[in-house]
Amino acid sequence: MIETQLWRVNPETADLENDLQIKAAAKCLSQGKIVAFPTETVYGLGGNAKFRDSVQKIYEAKGRPSDNPLIVHVATAEQVREICTEINPIAKKLMDAFWPGPLTLVLPSRGEVSDAVTAGLSTVAVRMPSHPVARALILASGLPIAAPSANSSGHPSPTKADHVLHDLYGKIAGIVDGGETGVGVESTVVDCTTTPVTILRPGGVSREQLEEVIGPVADDPGLTRPDQTPKAPGMKYKHYAPEATMYLVPAGESRIQELVAHEKNSDRRVGVLTTEENQKDFPQADVVLTCGRRSDPESVAHSLFAILRAFDAENVDVIYSETFSEAGIGKAVMNRLSKAAAGRVIE
């Protein structure tokens, strides 16, 4: 066990870079320690991307397989140039349109970051987050910060400091608590070394938004075809899974009601993952949790991971979940839900 400090920071504070809490967290980073912090997507677990020891601490604290590379977080264009050899015109357009924000670009690496960050690949994933606390921390440390989501490997990504405490207390030097994150699902990962560019992980920036700026983009076939390995190594792992066995039910409410009624003859504790619109429709279920409003897909993304964690606290044995349209951010929501359900779908 190591001591885990908690730094509370109001993201609206002026001149955050010189805030004493931020400075304390930045000092830990420059000493090679690892620190969790909020971004606009989910909390990240940060360490000095140039220092192998720091990066190794991240893998250890999360229990993350060493073949799964990390995203390097930057705050300035100069930091990007230090890390990547080449920023092609398409990558430049994407940076101009979506940075700072929930988009990660895979670019050719200059070899400046530790090879533990890139897991030995010739490319590096780079992202410029927009969250004021993340930006201030990166600037105050003066370092490129390697940061995966700050959960134990396999768990849902953390959207609150409490989630990080639950998974990593005693394993990391500290947590900057800047409140709940906004987007709620992780950044979109786009490989800029292919023509056209390829979406390796759907996320906070939708395909539609990308295509408005650069025209048609490709999807990594490994995301949907079981016979192909995903190009983002992280996408092949089991992830986001609640402790209960989860099933997706595309047929919707009445089918879920039947399934719940059927479970009444078993001694299993039954949960339903629904939305505010349908909340009252499952009186027979033991636990009903709502994940935002169906009419507002952003609200579903925002609360998805917190709801998956809440089912663990409710000790349910089985979860039946509604499904969502794959338009816009719905694509990322359905990707995370299918992983949480380990692909189990009840037609």
Note the residues at the interface with ligand TXA (CB under 6 A).
Answer: 39, 41-42, 44, 68-71, 102, 104, 106, 118, 121, 123-125, 127, 147-149, 186-187, 189, 200-201, 231-235
Residues with Cβ within 8 Å of 49's Cβ and at least 6 positions away in sequence, in order, are 55, 70, 72, 83, 113, 114, 117, 143, 144, 145, 146
If the CB atoms of residues 101 and 242 are measured against ligand TXA, the closer one turns out to be 101
Q: Find the shortest distance in angstroms from Cβ 125 to ligand TXA.
A: 3
Rounded-to-integer distance, Cα 163 and Cα 305, Å? 10
Do 42 and 103 touch, CB atoms closer than 8 A? Answer: no
Q: Confirm or reject binding of residue 149 to Mg ion (CB under 5 A).
A: yes
If the CB atoms of residues 70 and 94 are measured against Mg ion, the closer one turns out to be 70
- The structure tokens listed for 243 are 């402790």
Q: Confirm or reject binding of residue 188 to Mg ion (CB under 5 A).
A: no
Residue 12 Cα distances to 131, 132, 133, 179, 226, angstroms: 10, 8, 9, 11, 45
Q: Which does 206 bind (CB under 5 to 8 A by kind): Mg ion, ligand TXA, none?
A: none
Judged by CB under 5 A, the stretch of 16-24, 87-95, 141-149, 204-212 that binds Mg ion is 141-149
Q: Which does 233 bind (CB under 5 to 8 A by kind): ligand TXA, Mg ion, none?
A: ligand TXA
Q: Which does 175 bind (CB under 5 to 8 A by kind): ligand TXA, Mg ion, none?
A: none
Torsional sign, CA 189, 191, 196, 199: negative
Residue written as token pair 């606009």: 40
Question: 161-168 and 297-313 helices cross at what angle (nearest 10)?
Answer: 40
If the CB atoms of residues 196 and 233 are measured against Mg ion, the closer one turns out to be 233
Task: Write down the H helix ranges in the chain.
Answer: 20-30, 52-62, 77-83, 89-98, 132-141, 161-168, 207-214, 253-263, 297-313, 330-340
Do 316 and 283 touch, CB atoms closer than 8 A? Answer: no
Q: Which residue is nearest to Mg ion (CB)?
A: 149
Q: Find the shortest distance in angstroms from Cβ 276 to ligand TXA.
A: 25
Q: Find the shortest distance in angstroms from Cβ 73 to ligand TXA.
A: 6
- The structure tokens listed for 337 are 């839900």
Q: Confirm or reject binding of residue 159 to Mg ion (CB under 5 A).
A: no
Q: Which does 39 bind (CB under 5 to 8 A by kind): Mg ion, ligand TXA, none?
A: ligand TXA
Do 49 and 138 touch, CB atoms closer than 8 A? Answer: no
Q: Which does 22 bind (CB under 5 to 8 A by kind): Mg ion, ligand TXA, none?
A: none
Do 43 and 159 touch, CB atoms closer than 8 A? Answer: yes
Q: Find the shortest distance in angstroms from Cβ 262 to ligand TXA.
A: 36
If the CB atoms of residues 220 and 322 are measured against ligand TXA, the closer one turns out to be 220
Q: Which residue is nearest to ligand TXA (CB)?
A: 234
Q: Find the shortest distance in angstroms from Cβ 334 to ligand TXA.
A: 17
Interaction site with Mg ion (CB under 5 A):
149
